[in-house]
A and B are shown apart, each in its own frame.
Chain A
């Protein structure tokens, strides 16, 4: 079978691509606003938005590579990829380069590499392969198998410690399981069991993680301590009101009230400058993007493709929900970025790689070949 036939190429999903480019473009403009003000204060010498453009360009370049082969060949690579991921995660735990207390990086000379990002790809692929093979709703055996396999890399990631990414992976696997459908008894057990287990999990959180959750529950208690971010973010967004203060006019970010405004809190800058109208439009854009992923999953040619797309859907869904939720003061502060908006090389690149897979699946939806 040829790797890329012309027929598949004509079915490229231009709708999804357009949405992607729109989001990336708005993201860059917003990052320009978020980072140029940092320059005025002389805090940094790098234009974050320029670096982001560079990473988006690299990301775009990966799309042709990602659609070049038939995604069904990936089934054979699922286990080796999983093994490599575990190996690298273990390596990072033992020998990784530490950045602000968390050891996440493998130093490859000029570039450094986060195995956590690889884990996102391999967990999605592994779960998709496992779920595609299981008949009917997931039972106890299937559930425990999937959860165990996911727990290994997630455990390593939590130990780094990187709560945000760990949760993201765990939740996307959970989403995929729910998408497939769980045995009724399991559903009931989960509904009862999770509230019981949650307090126990509390003991395993690190102090700063506990503090963040407590701060979320009562941000006014320590407005300039841990709750500072939450309060300042709400003030910035709220003060945008209906129409916003305009591009580059956000006062909160200018006066450096907003922390981490080019990374996790980048949406507050957008909210302050573009107001409710801008935010609603952006939210709509994100939802259309997610909906488009649902469409790709629904039209994919086989269940493996459907599950991969579902995994990618949840990967983005949780990030959007948790990041916006935290910026808007609905959720505790967890280090989860907003896709296409938050500055970050590794995460931008992985976004494009995962979407490349989705394009791959989408364009092969009409290929009728039996194996």
Chain B
């Protein structure tokens, strides 16, 4: 039959092909027999009743502890209500029944269902309610058998034992929104994610890794058997530098006032307390805050969601005179002992700038001017230095830049300059504004944490540190202040004199058992209207009252602390912030 070459292709080749066909037939037939006949029953059972489902095992979120180990953010079990669409024959009926069990309206439940249904994988529960009360749990548990597709999911939930006190350090977790789900592929709808504070910054570390288990479920979705595939890995526990007792003490001492207090160790940068009032209840977010409560928080004029120590900046008032003084020391603008005469006012062109003390301070040199917070002295000093030198030095001391404290949305503050004013306000710098800047009024804005860091640098020999909240991290020095030991010492001694000597404005901090130095400040909220001038603080409406500052250090032996307080609308620095700071030293040194 073959033409030219009968041996080509060889008959062995055809035999080879035939063997292949026979081999294929036998192999596949054997396998079919194995699967369908030998193990067929088993597979049929699996197919009809035992369907495999995957579920997450939620890890415990890493604990946040204070420096002594006290738990500031822990976990407690919570019960969520989920719905598996594939097992639920009548979703609207199920939703309206859930509405009967809880205080949620059918519309609200339908809204949640519509929002989340596309994000849930097949056969995964769609979380409708993330935290059920025990009463609801009891009701639902007893009815669950009649509603295939509904299930109770137990998972650990964040709990803040003393929510408002630590709220601005810890932040809070809440259900992840759409964007967060996109950014974190391992997050599923209904799961929580850190939204503020350390919870946000440390989210990856705290979150841990979910485990997975396999459920064998019947046609109604009832679980028959479960097997753990991977165990969850809990998030890391993190020790903070915060001293919980101190924080609580400050919280109590501040009473109903709004404001912020920072207590820091100058050498390590450890933040021992960071209080911002008012605070909020983080647990409300964890459980899913209602729209109404959320709006109430947002519209609260005291803005409880704002961390005033880090996210708010205020005019530093007379506290800024320390910064201006150190610029003067550096520039050799004037000999330390050169005196200016303060008659209670200062005339620049046809404008008159007043000193806070009517009648004036008389002849004062720099040390005395800091101690008595003489405005006129600093008007003259500011005029001599000029705005360029002031803003250059202020920036080199870490102002108008983030301190790097591990908290979100830190405010940079503002140090005005000629360029800044031209760019942002569109007008050229006025000499009078230099005078205002020199006493910390006007455009200048600083955060309490910046002031604390600055005073810490004065005490620790000029090291500008990154404030530390996590215990295990190393102190990080950002830069050195351009000040010599003598110059630092002069500033510290002036602050000490402000506390200890007669006429010092921070006399309230005076104590026998420790060396304390301080500087008060009063930040004008608005230029006071004529009608309120010369009035007592209590006679002025709250929102027009000045902010009160107190920046201080306390040393006893090797123990050194920095305490900075800002009381919003507190009036004068000494009278409003002084008692709070004094009580903090009382706590620290007793």
Expressed in whole angstroms, the Cα–Cα distance for A363 and B39 within the complex equals 46
Q: Which one, B2-10, B159-167, B404-412, B427-435, is touching chain A?
A: B2-10
Does B589 make an interface contact (CB < 8 A)? Answer: no
- Which residues of A are found within 8 Å of B10, using beta-carbon distances? 180-181
Does A193 make an interface contact (CB < 8 A)? Answer: no
Flag if B1 contacts A299 (CB, 8 Å). Answer: yes
Q: Which one, B42-50, B145-153, B194-202, B293-301, is touching chain A?
A: B42-50
Instruction: State whether A235 and B47 are in contact (beta carbons under 8 Å apart), knowing that A223-B52, A306-B9 are contacts in the complex.
Output: yes
The A223-249 residues at the B interface (CB cut-off 8 A) are 223-224, 231, 234-242
Does A279 make an interface contact (CB < 8 A)? Answer: yes
Instruction: State whether A328 and B54 are in contact (beta carbons under 8 Å apart), knowing that A241-B41, A290-B21 are contacts in the complex.
Output: no
- Chain A residue at minimum C-beta to C-beta distance from B5: A303
- Which residues of A are found within 8 Å of B14, using beta-carbon distances? 294, 297-298
- Which residues of A are found within 8 Å of B35, using beta-carbon distances? 234, 237-238, 271, 328-329
Does A320 make an interface contact (CB < 8 A)? Answer: yes
The B21-50 residues at the A interface (CB cut-off 8 A) are 21-22, 24-25, 27-29, 31-33, 35-37, 39-44, 46-48
Flag if B18 contacts A291 (CB, 8 Å). Answer: yes
Instruction: State whether A320 and B40 are in contact (beta carbons under 8 Å apart), knowing that A236-B47, A276-B33, A307-B9 are contacts in the complex.
Output: no
Instruction: Give the shortest distance, in Å, between A323 (CB) and chain B (any CB).
Output: 10
Contact with A along B221-234 (1 / 0, CB 8 A): 00000000100000
Main secondary structure of the interface of B (DSSP, over half): helix
Expressed in whole angstroms, the Cα–Cα distance for A271 and B47 within the complex equals 13
Q: Which of A179, A242, A306 has the most CB of B within 10 A?
A: A179
Expressed in whole angstroms, the Cα–Cα distance for A301 and B42 within the complex equals 52
Instruction: Give the shortest distance, in Å, between A8 (CB) and chain B (any CB).
Output: 16
- Which residues of A are found within 8 Å of B46, using beta-carbon distances? 235, 238-239
- Which residues of A are found within 8 Å of B32, using beta-carbon distances? 237, 271, 276, 279-280, 283, 328
Expressed in whole angstroms, the Cα–Cα distance for A272 and B41 within the complex equals 13
Does B122 make an interface contact (CB < 8 A)? Answer: yes
Range for the number of chain A residues in contact with chain B? 35 or more
Flag if A294 contacts B51 (CB, 8 Å). Answer: no
Instruction: Give the shortest distance, in Å, between A272 (CB) and chain B (any CB).
Output: 8
Flag if B43 contacts A235 (CB, 8 Å). Answer: yes
- Chain B residue at minimum C-beta to C-beta distance from A256: B122
Instruction: Give the shortest distance, in Å, between A58 (CB) and chain B (any CB).
Output: 29
Does B20 make an interface contact (CB < 8 A)? Answer: yes
Flag if A290 contacts B29 (CB, 8 Å). Answer: no
- Which residues of A are found within 8 Å of B21, using beta-carbon distances? 287, 290-291, 294, 317
Instruction: State whether A283 and B28 are in contact (beta carbons under 8 Å apart), knowing that A234-B35, A276-B36 are contacts in the complex.
Output: yes
Instruction: State whether A224 and B52 are in contact (beta carbons under 8 Å apart), knowing that A294-B14, A302-B3 are contacts in the complex.
Output: yes
Expressed in whole angstroms, the Cα–Cα distance for A301 and B8 within the complex equals 11
- Which residues of A are found within 8 Å of B43, using beta-carbon distances? 234-235, 237-239, 241
Expressed in whole angstroms, the Cα–Cα distance for A179 and B27 within the complex equals 21
Flag if A237 contacts B25 (CB, 8 Å). Answer: no
Does A275 make an interface contact (CB < 8 A)? Answer: yes
Does B12 make an interface contact (CB < 8 A)? Answer: yes
Flag if B1 contacts A251 (CB, 8 Å). Answer: no
Does A330 make an interface contact (CB < 8 A)? Answer: yes
Instruction: Give the shortest distance, in Å, between B475 (CB) and chain A (any CB).
Output: 42
- Which residues of A are found within 8 Å of B18, using beta-carbon distances? 291, 294
How many B residues face the partner with a CB closer than 8 A? 45
Flag if B47 contacts A251 (CB, 8 Å). Answer: yes
Flag if B3 contacts A301 (CB, 8 Å). Answer: yes
Does A57 make an interface contact (CB < 8 A)? Answer: no
- Which residues of B are found within 8 Å of A287, using beta-carbon distances? 21-22, 24-25
- Chain A residue at minimum C-beta to C-beta distance from B8: A303
Flag if A310 contacts B36 (CB, 8 Å). Answer: no
Instruction: State whether A280 and B37 are in contact (beta carbons under 8 Å apart), knowing that A180-B13, A310-B13 are contacts in the complex.
Output: no
Does A64 make an interface contact (CB < 8 A)? Answer: no
Does B16 make an interface contact (CB < 8 A)? Answer: yes
Instruction: State whether A330 and B52 are in contact (beta carbons under 8 Å apart), knowing that A238-B43, A239-B44, A298-B14 are contacts in the complex.
Output: no
The A251-297 residues at the B interface (CB cut-off 8 A) are 251-252, 255-257, 271-272, 275-276, 279-280, 283-284, 286-287, 290-291, 294, 297
Main secondary structure of the interface of A (DSSP, over half): helix
- Which residues of A are found within 8 Å of B36, using beta-carbon distances? 237-238, 240-242, 271, 275-276, 279
Expressed in whole angstroms, the Cα–Cα distance for A241 and B122 within the complex equals 27
Flag if A238 contacts B42 (CB, 8 Å). Answer: yes
Flag if A179 contacts B25 (CB, 8 Å). Answer: no
- Which residues of A are found within 8 Å of B122, using beta-carbon distances? 256
Expressed in whole angstroms, the Cα–Cα distance for A279 and B203 within the complex equals 54
Does A149 make an interface contact (CB < 8 A)? Answer: no
Flag if A179 contacts B17 (CB, 8 Å). Answer: yes
Contact with B along A335-371 (1 / 0, CB 8 A): 0000000000000000000000000000001001010
Flag if A241 contacts B16 (CB, 8 Å). Answer: no
Report the tally of A-B residue pairs with Cβ distances under 8 A: 143
Q: B17 is contacted by which of A181, A237, A255, A297 (Cβ under 8 Å)?
A: A297
Flag if B20 contacts A324 (CB, 8 Å). Answer: no
Expressed in whole angstroms, the Cα–Cα distance for A271 and B9 within the complex equals 38
Does A321 make an interface contact (CB < 8 A)? Answer: yes
Does A313 make an interface contact (CB < 8 A)? Answer: yes
Does B214 make an interface contact (CB < 8 A)? Answer: yes
Instruction: Give the shortest distance, in Å, between A261 (CB) and chain B (any CB).
Output: 14
Instruction: Give the shortest distance, in Å, between B117 (CB) and chain A (any CB).
Output: 14
- Chain B residue at minimum C-beta to C-beta distance from A244: B36
Expressed in whole angstroms, the Cα–Cα distance for A251 and B46 within the complex equals 11
Does A206 make an interface contact (CB < 8 A)? Answer: no
Expressed in whole angstroms, the Cα–Cα distance for A179 and B18 within the complex equals 11
Does A178 make an interface contact (CB < 8 A)? Answer: yes
- Which residues of B are found within 8 Å of A310, using beta-carbon distances? 9, 13, 17
Contact with B along A162-185 (1 / 0, CB 8 A): 000000000000000011110000
- Which residues of B are found within 8 Å of A240, using beta-carbon distances? 36, 40
Flag if B47 contacts A252 (CB, 8 Å). Answer: yes
Expressed in whole angstroms, the Cα–Cα distance for A256 and B122 within the complex equals 9
Q: B12 is contacted by which of A135, A181, A328 (Cβ under 8 Å)?
A: A181
Flag if B42 contacts A255 (CB, 8 Å). Answer: no
Flag if A317 contacts B24 (CB, 8 Å). Answer: yes
- Which residues of B are found within 8 Å of A284, using beta-carbon distances? 25
- Which residues of A are found within 8 Å of B42, using beta-carbon distances? 238
Instruction: State whether A283 and B40 are in contact (beta carbons under 8 Å apart), knowing that A179-B13, A235-B46, A290-B21 are contacts in the complex.
Output: no
Expressed in whole angstroms, the Cα–Cα distance for A69 and B341 within the complex equals 118
Expressed in whole angstroms, the Cα–Cα distance for A231 and B48 within the complex equals 14
- Chain B residue at minimum C-beta to C-beta distance from A222: B229
- Which residues of A are found within 8 Å of B13, using beta-carbon distances? 179-181, 310
Flag if A317 contacts B20 (CB, 8 Å). Answer: yes
Q: B39 is contacted by which of A238, A272, A283 (Cβ under 8 Å)?
A: A238
Instruction: Give the shortest distance, in Å, between B449 (CB) and chain A (any CB).
Output: 46
Contact with A along B442-463 (1 / 0, CB 8 A): 0000000000000000000000
Expressed in whole angstroms, the Cα–Cα distance for A257 and B123 within the complex equals 10
Flag if B40 contacts A238 (CB, 8 Å). Answer: yes
- Which residues of B are found within 8 Å of A368, using beta-carbon distances? 3
- Which residues of B are found within 8 Å of A241, using beta-carbon distances? 36-37, 40-41, 43-44
Expressed in whole angstroms, the Cα–Cα distance for A320 and B52 within the complex equals 29
Expressed in whole angstroms, the Cα–Cα distance for A340 and B5 within the complex equals 36
Instruction: Give the shortest distance, in Å, between B10 (CB) and chain A (any CB).
Output: 6
Contact with B along A111-136 (1 / 0, CB 8 A): 00000000000000000000010010
A-B contact pairs, 14 of them (CB 8 A): A181-B10, A234-B43, A236-B47, A237-B36, A238-B46, A238-B47, A241-B40, A242-B37, A251-B48, A276-B40, A283-B29, A291-B18, A297-B17, A298-B14
Other than the given A132-B8, A238-B42, A280-B32, 4 more pairs (CB < 8 A) read A239-B43, A241-B41, A283-B32, A303-B5
* B residues lining the A interface (CB < 8 Å): 1-5, 8-10, 12-14, 16-18, 20-22, 24-25, 27-29, 31-33, 35-37, 39-44, 46-48, 51-54, 86, 122, 214, 229
| Closest CB pairs A-B (n = 8) | A238-B43, A239-B47, A241-B40, A239-B44, A276-B36, A224-B54, A238-B35, A179-B13
